[in-house]
Amino acid sequence: MAKTKLKMLYVYEERIPNNLRELVLSTLEGDVCTVVDSMTYQTPDSEKIEKLKKAEAVFFAPGRHLDDAVLAHARHIKLMQLWSSGYDKFNVAGATRYGIPVANNGGANASSVAEHAVLLMLAVYKWLPNSCTRTVTGDWKGNSHGMDMFTLEGKTLGIIGFGNIGRQVAKKVRGFGMEVLYYDIKRADGRIEKELKARFTPLEELLKTSDIITLHLHLNEQSRNIIGEKEFNLMKKGAVLINVSRAQLVEPTAFFGALKNNKIHGAGLDVYLEEPTSPNDPLLTLPNVVATPHMAGTTYDAYISVLAHALENFRRVRNGKPPLWVVNNAG
């Protein structure tokens, strides 16, 4: 006898393109789930409540805030599955209050984000956007002949946050011949350190000795503004900061000053305090910033991996097993 399909509600942002929504629906609709409805975050709360009543599980792509007044009517939901690794923009506290498990993607997009971090390292070291513009326009008179460009080989990389993404970064830069340091509130197993050739280092030492520093932390009250004026003063003058995690990890005034006054060489960014970004944002007009539009984890391959993880969790819930990658203590 075939098992009953899990009734799933799909929640998405209005900006998500049709072809991506179709990929989600075609992947999740099958033997495990039936998609009973969909909605956006702009759907009125009264309609959200009615749609939640029809579902047993919810897929949020991406995970954004639902008010407690809505979650109070979702106590029956067996799992709220987030598209992303980060969950700071979701109302996890509210879901916990009403006994609803919330799971992230279990590192499904870690490789994609790690590749993007390495892309930004290279783009800053080679000033790729400026170099592309000068090539397209034929304006070679500003060519520095490489006097302001560098190689990754022989440099020291400091990874702050050594979870799924941080470890993927360490793995990917091995081929570039970099020395890898890392800092995390929890030291990794010695076997992992040996495999990735990464050395645990106190934060202050990492900041002082790294040529490139890359951030891979979840945002919480402990990590907010973990990089501020004190930390920028500890960095090498030629240091590069990469942030593909959350903009709030870096104190904005100190960051702008460090870049504008050339305390550090440059920055590669994929996350911002305001998203989408505003035209002529002072930070983004600085010549030593390379920026991309929060796209690190958004590759087709990452989508397939994320959806596979989501399906695995929905299958487990349908079969009466606890879901994986739960980020709250609920249920």
pLDDT tens for each residue of 14-60: 999 999 999 999 999 999 999 999 999 999 999 999 999 999 999 99
159 phi, psi to nearest 5 deg: -105, 120
β-strand partners of 290: 268
- Mean pLDDT, the chain, rounded, equals 96
Amino acid type, 264: I
Q: Which of 73, 224, 294, 316 is catalytic?
A: 294
246 among known catalytic residues: yes
How does pLDDT run across 268-301, given as a tens digit for each residue? 999 999 999 999 899 999 999 999 999 999 999 9
Write down the domain spans for the chain: 6-108+299-318, 110-291
- Say which CATH class 110-291 falls into: alpha beta
Catalytic option among 13, 22, 204, 275? 275
pLDDT per position as a tens digit, 177-211: 999 999 999 999 999 999 999 999 999 999 999 99
C-alpha to C-alpha distance for 295 and 174, rounded to whole angstroms: 24
Which ranges in 180-283 belong to alpha helices (H)? 190-196, 203-209, 229-234, 252-260
One of 116, 167, 216, 246 is an active-site residue; which one? 246
240-243/156-160 β-pairing = unpaired
Mean pLDDT of 222-241: 97
**3-class DSSP state for residue 83?**
coil
- At 1 the pLDDT is 52
Percent of the chain with pLDDT over 70: 99
Task: Tell me, yes or no, if 315 is annotated catalytic.
Answer: no
> Cβ neighbours of residue 90 under 8 Å, at least 6 residues apart?
60, 63, 64, 65, 66, 80, 82, 102
Among 2-11, 177-186, 313-322, which stretch is predicted with the lowest mean pLDDT?
A: 2-11
Residues 6+ apart with CB under 8 A from 146: none
Active site residue 294: yes
Q: Under CATH, what is the fold of the domain 6-108+299-318?
A: Rossmann fold (3.40.50)
> Hey, what are 39's tokens?
């909605």
The number of angstroms, rounded, from the C-alpha of 132 to the middle of its chain's C-alpha atoms is: 27
* Same fold? 6-108+299-318, 110-291: yes
Q: How many residues does the chain have?
A: 331
Evaluate whether 69 touches 295 at the Cβ level (below 8 Å): no
